[in-house]
Structure 1
């Protein structure tokens, strides 16, 4: 079994053209990172631009054990500061590609041609693809082997319209992720707002919100093991 997993983060550090800081939601990166690492996988970080991964400042305040562990882990923090640019990444050699969320993903991942090509290639090579919260924004341009949207006809979860409204960011978003997924033909699923919910449809694993990060990681490992 291939023992490498690629985490692809946003490079977007602000909410669009505004000055409001965003980025990846820390727990959505750190919890899967350690689930994968502790299961014996090596984990590599990539992003559209490469270099330092922007972290949503609000997510640094979390008391999640994985966040605290990451902040004092010199190897993890070094990886956070030196993500590989997508131009240098190929799907071969990885067991899975995982997309953590954070509002930054809503700007740079949905139509990124290199990410679309990476995920489409990974899918056709039989890799596992997983994402959590706003991470599924990165799935929007990916295609399956028939040329159809990867999410079409598949069970998918992501940050819900209800949760976006509760966060007060509906108007700030370039689009609503739940709505866009449904428009592409995804069979959207979700649970009560801000409670863990994750779904696996074969090699595609998605989760609704930060609280779903652990379950998404578990289902990703399950899917890899069955591959």
Structure 2
């Protein structure tokens, strides 16, 4: 059985504000729906382990989100995430970073997670991320000393979407700028429209609307 390692944040606020945050639930649940429909297994992993903060858990009309969040197995895993120190990365076929603002404050700069993802990628594994999730790809350095993204085309949450969301002055850094400065190419479409960019074994999606398609692309890559 194929298995996906999903990195979630331990950071429970929007930047240094007191606003509740963490992982944006629909970006996790919509991708996870595709992973589960394919018959794959998954683990939820965070830097410190334990209960991982979620927001966006009460969005009206989002049946996929409601279904996954109501699942006992999911609740057990999100409330008891594995710590990075307990992970054997060779046990997984893909790594997925869902978005949410929280990871800008931990996964985006964590060397231990970046080393695991580099090891996974260089071993032939797939890396996928959506919305702010591609921030987790920024610190990944390959064994040749080059940044993973230096040779990759990617997308991620845009400046316009930050403006629409009212978060431009609250985030630790602007993801679009960081990706544009680090990646070989950064692409975007109109705010809130679906966009998935696949470059070899790196799959990225622009925003929440792209989570389902990122999950589908990950499944297709492992098929």
- TM-score interval, smaller chain: over 0.9
Does 2:168 align with 1:160? no
Counterpart residue number, 2:109: 111
- Cα offset for 1:170? 0.8
Q: Which digits, 9 at most, give the CA deviation of each residue in 1:134-187, with x for residues without a partner?
A: 001111100234221111131101001111111111111111101001111331
- Cα offset for 1:63? 2.7
Report the TM-score when normalising by structure 1.
0.94
User: Could you tell me how far apart the structure 1 residues matched to 2:61 and 2:50 are?
Assistant: 26
- Unpaired runs of 5+ residues, structure 1, are none
- Aligned-pair RMSD on alpha carbons? 1.3
User: Could you tell me how far apart the structure 2 residues matched to 1:59 and 1:187 are?
Assistant: 33
Q: Which digits, 9 at most, give the CA deviation of each residue in 1:189-210, with x for residues without a partner?
A: 1111011111111100000001
- Unpaired runs of 5+ residues, structure 2, are none
- Cα offset for 1:123? 0.8
Counterpart residue number, 2:18: 19
Kept in 2: contact 1:202–1:223 (CA 8 A)? no
User: Could you tell me how far apart the structure 1 residues matched to 2:131 and 2:143 are?
Assistant: 25
Q: Which runs of 4+ in 1 moved over 4 A?
A: none
Q: Which digits, 9 at most, give the CA deviation of each residue in 1:16-64, with x for residues without a partner?
A: 33211111000111111121111011111101111111012x4432432
User: Could you tell me how far apart the structure 2 residues matched to 1:62 and 1:158 are?
Assistant: 25
Does 2:6 align with 1:7? yes
Report the TM-score when normalising by structure 2.
0.96
Name the SS for the 2:150 alignment partner: coil
Which residue of the other structure, out of 64, 67, 70, is the alignment partner of 2:65?
A: 67
- Cα offset for 1:13? 0.3
Select the structure with the greater relative contact order (CA < 8 A; seq sep ≥ 6): 2
Kept in 1: contact 2:57–2:69 (CA 8 A)? no
Does 2:42 align with 1:43? yes
Kept in 1: contact 2:17–2:170 (CA 8 A)? no
